[in-house]
Copies of this chain bind each other. A is one copy, B any other.
């Protein structure tokens, strides 16, 4: 069985990454790629890397009607565009898998963190939050899927086992480093090579919007409210997120061995999550759908550490959504995805 597939907004990085991954997946047939400002251009002009798979395919303008009947539509539109676009296709296509931030949160939480009313609040319920390891059940019965943010995926997968087991207090300090591709292909001074190279900087202090997703996911596994103080940093690399998370123990007598065991149990059947003794660097996951997690208990200061490394464009975005698509269609979740990173 091969499913017809469209990638909407395929000129950005997550769209291009979907095209790269779909090129290696036999179950999905890319029948349409759209890109507003680049309509008419060959995909291979923007991404010469895709020439081998897509030849002369050109971006089409975005046209909801033309997509009717498509099995699965991946939306990789700029922030805010999905809210406007989704109502036009949500009933006419099989599944919408949205890679933006538009359908990740309930409308009220969205409004609080994004500072604007949601444009399609009635559609939010139609989307399951697509963090596969934590929401698999909901996702399997949902028609549409909203991709988790890259940072929330890293932070939530690092902390979920410990939070779920009630081992830590419900206040997480999440410190994360991200490569520049997380900022997308849009033109911003801070994304220029000469600005980001040889530079590490913190940004979005106290108010980064991904915080809401982390609190949502961790509260979900905890069954009660978890709050997160999130501080993202830009580091001079293209791909990769490393989340280093801190919490205080909620029980006495913890040990590192115990934390690692809890992680191993929690992820025992997960094909993409690796619990490692020594913390992996992000490069261990480069180009793959893998997440490497580890933990430590520090008796000296009474602290718990949980660390996750992943590729923000794969497990943090397009790879996780291909995993979700596999899930929706009952294919093995690993189809078309690798857990082997490109190193060095």
Contacts and interface: CB of A to CB of B under 8 A. Distances in A.
Given A193-B193, A193-B238, A244-B231, A52 B340 contact: yes
Interface string A179-198: 11101010111011111111
B205 A180 contact: no
Contacts of A198: 179, 197-198, 237-240, 282-283, 286
A62 B176 CA distance: 41
A281 B201 contact: yes
Interface pairs A-B: 8 shortest CB-CB: A52-B339, A201-B281, A49-B341, A199-B283, A194-B344, A187-B187, A48-B284, A49-B343
Given A279-B203, A301-B228, A194 B175 contact: no
A303 B235 contact: no
Interface in A223-250: 227-229, 231, 233-240, 242, 244, 246
Contacts of A49: 283-286, 288, 290, 340-343
Interface in A17-70: 20, 23-24, 47-53
A104 interface: no
9 contacts: A48-B292, A49-B286, A49-B340, A185-B192, A187-B189, A187-B192, A193-B193, A201-B242, A229-B303
Of the four ranges (under 10, 10 to 19, 20 to 34, 35 or more), the interface on chain A belongs to 35 or more
Contacts of A181: 194, 344
Contact of A282 (B195, B201, B271, B292): B201
A199 B282 contact: yes
Contacts of A302: 171
Interface of A: 13, 16, 20, 23-24, 47-53, 171, 173, 175, 177, 179-181, 183, 185, 187-189, 191-203, 205-206, 227-229, 231, 233-240, 242, 244, 246, 271-272, 274, 276, 279-288, 290, 292, 296, 298, 300-303, 305, 307, 309, 313, 338-344
A180 B193 contact: yes
A53 B171 contact: no
Contacts of A185: 189, 192, 194-195, 344
A177 B343 contact: no
Copies, count:
4
Contact of A279 (B20, B205, B236): B205
B298 A237 contact: no
Contacts of A285: 49
Contacts of A239: 198, 344
Contacts of A231: 244, 305
Contacts of A229: 246, 298, 300-301, 303, 305
A191 B192 CA distance: 6
A155 B305 CA distance: 19
A244 to B, nearest CB: 6
Contacts of A175: 175, 244, 246
Given A181-B194, A281-B200, A244 B233 contact: yes
B177 A235 contact: yes
A229 B245 CA distance: 12
A286 B342 CA distance: 9
